[in-house]
Amino acid sequence: MNGNELRAALRGEMAAGHTPPPLSTAAMLGVARQARARRRTVWACAGSAAAVLALAGVATANTPGGVYSGPADNAPVGPSTKPADSASAAAPTSKDSATPWPTGPDGRPQEDRTAQAGSRYDQGVRLLSEIVSVVPAGYTAPEDATGRPADAMPRRSHQAQFEERVDGVDVWSYMSSAALAQGERTGRLLVETHTAGNQLPSEPCALARGFWGMQGECQVVTVGAAQVGVVARPTVDDRFDQWAAYRHPDGVVVFVAQGRRLDANEPALITLPFSLRELAGLAVDERFHLE
């Protein structure tokens, strides 16, 4: 095949094929507009969904069961950093917004639930002193020393806390704790006293099981004329190994708890310092009967 024949064949093939449609500016703009409209619709839907999710997250964070990173109602509250003459500091209130905090020794309402000075504070200090006085033979009650880990449980602590106001009477609790050491091993003894007027149960075992909401196998131990609820073994919460509870005739409630371990930083005691009967005896001891 020569050059002329080849050119003739190519022309024939081109003539036999379908001619492509001419380019249309209007058609191309239409397609572009449709694509842009689709993109806008997708982004609008995504934005609406994000807004719904954000609102749902806010609602969840402020309803029971939601995830909230703020302080819990029962979290410890530190002293207020606001000026003393501010409106909020002028009338601080307890958990019940209608109940003001008790008046401190300076004649002004406390800044939170915990007493920082005065007779109530002194009762907490006294309670710690009484705990140290009942440390059994063979044990010591060491004080905190420098160099202990920052996350370590204090070896000695005390606190006086306003609980509630019942029929015009302020109900307080005093809690003190001391480490009980035997050689290199350390356990813990804690006493918590609630003043008269408290709303705690009266039945010995119901009272014992109400201590910090802990549950356990309870028995009633008789100490003289007193009936003491004693939990010999916890069933769920193991913050303590044993505890006793007693309500005095005047309504004052005393809890005494012992544990083999102070915290994870020190090895635990092999045996508990007190027998169940001794623990019950401490619950009725007048040294812990505070007002």
Residue 263 lies in a domain: yes
Residue 55 lies in a domain: no
Q: How many CB atoms lie within 10 A of CB 12?
A: 9
In this prediction, residue 9 carries a pLDDT of 58
Residue 57 lies in a domain: no
Say if strands 185-194 and 242-247 run parallel, antiparallel, or are unpaired: unpaired
Q: What is the CA radius of gyration of the chain?
A: 37
Provide the domain count of the chain.
1
Q: How many CB atoms lie within 10 A of CB 246?
A: 27
In this prediction, residue 149 carries a pLDDT of 85
Contacts of 241 (CB under 8 A, 6+ apart): 233, 234, 258, 259, 260, 272
Residue 63 lies in a domain: no
Residue 65 lies in a domain: no
In this prediction, residue 77 carries a pLDDT of 33
Q: Is residue 190 classed as helix, strand or coil in its secondary structure? A: strand
In this prediction, residue 56 carries a pLDDT of 42
- The answer to whether the pTM exceeds 0.75 is no
In this prediction, residue 114 carries a pLDDT of 95
In this prediction, residue 220 carries a pLDDT of 98
Phi and psi at 100, nearest 5°, equal -75, 155
The whole-angstrom separation of Cα 175 and Cα 192 is 4
Residue 50 lies in a domain: no
Q: Compute CA distances 172 → 104, 166, 175, 190, whole Å.
A: 13, 11, 10, 17
Residues 4, 12 contacting (CB under 8 angstroms): no
Task: State the virtual CA torsion across 41, 47, 48, 53 in degrees, nearest 10.
Answer: 150
User: Nearest CA to 284 among 239, 249, 254?
Assistant: 254
Mean pLDDT by 10 residues, the chain (291 residues): 57 53 50 50 44 41 34 34 35 56 89 94 97 97 88 94 93 98 97 97 96 95 98 93 98 98 94 98 98 91
Helix, strand counts (H, E) of the chain: 6, 7
The neighbouring-strand residues paired with 180 are 187
Residue 269 lies in a domain: yes
Residue-range definition of the domain harbouring residue 249: 92-142+153-288
Residue 233 lies in a domain: yes
Give me the count of residues in the chain. 291
